[in-house]
Amino acid sequence: MITEHAQCHCGKITAEVRFSKPLADFEPRACDCDFCAKHGAAYISEAEGSLDIRIKDSEHAVSYQHGSGLADFLLCGHCGVLMAVTYSHEGGTAGSLNSRTLDNRRSLMPAQTSSAVKFLSDTEKPERWKQVWIQNVRFS
Ligand SMILES: [Zn+2]
């Protein structure tokens, strides 16, 4: 596995992500929902990867829900950067990292706009996240 580092602008939230292939092989997905578009977020994930999110102090973490309210968007409460989106279910937590927060984001292919999720129902969305998102997300 290849380890990559990410952080918000001020560094109060950091993340370590592990993928089976180099960043150059990933095409981030720019979700075109209003929230993600306003942040310019483009997500990167791989089901067999892992994501460790470290929050220095819980007061620096903001969790935001919108739309179906099924997913939690993690933002730094200090510098405002959108770090990741996660979905907690009975089997654990799945998530997708905002690729813009990666130290080596310039290695990535250009983001492709994806409107796939917008048209899924509230029961289809979690099923997709369990397939496409990183299945091993931990917080510390
Ligand atoms: Zn920050």
Q: Give residue 25's pLDDT band: very low, low, confident or very high (50, 70, 90).
A: very high
Among 94, 95, 57, residue whose Cα is nearest residue 76: 57
Ligand 1 midpoint to CA 119 (Å)? 31
Among 32, 31, 16, 22, residue whose Cα is nearest residue 2: 22
d(CA 37, CA 58): 26
> Position of tokens 């999720």?
117
Q: Which domains does the chain have, with CATH numbers?
A: 2-139 (2.170.150.70)
Ligand 1 midpoint to CA 75 (Å)? 8
Residues lining ligand 1 (ion), CB within 5 A? Answer: 8, 10, 12, 76, 78-79
For range 13-27, the mean pLDDT: 97
Residue 110 pLDDT exceeds 90: yes
Ligand 1 midpoint to CA 60 (Å)? 7
Rounded CA Rg of the chain = 14
Q: Give residue 58's pLDDT band: very low, low, confident or very high (50, 70, 90).
A: confident
d(CA 101, CA 37): 15
The pTM of this model reads 0.94
Amino acid at 2: I
For range 15-31, the mean pLDDT: 96
Ligand 1 midpoint to CA 55 (Å)? 10
- Residue 41 is predicted with a pLDDT of 96
Ligand 1 midpoint to CA 35 (Å)? 18
Ligand 1 midpoint to CA 111 (Å)? 23
- Residue 68 is predicted with a pLDDT of 83
Residue 33 pLDDT exceeds 90: no
- Residue 57 is predicted with a pLDDT of 87
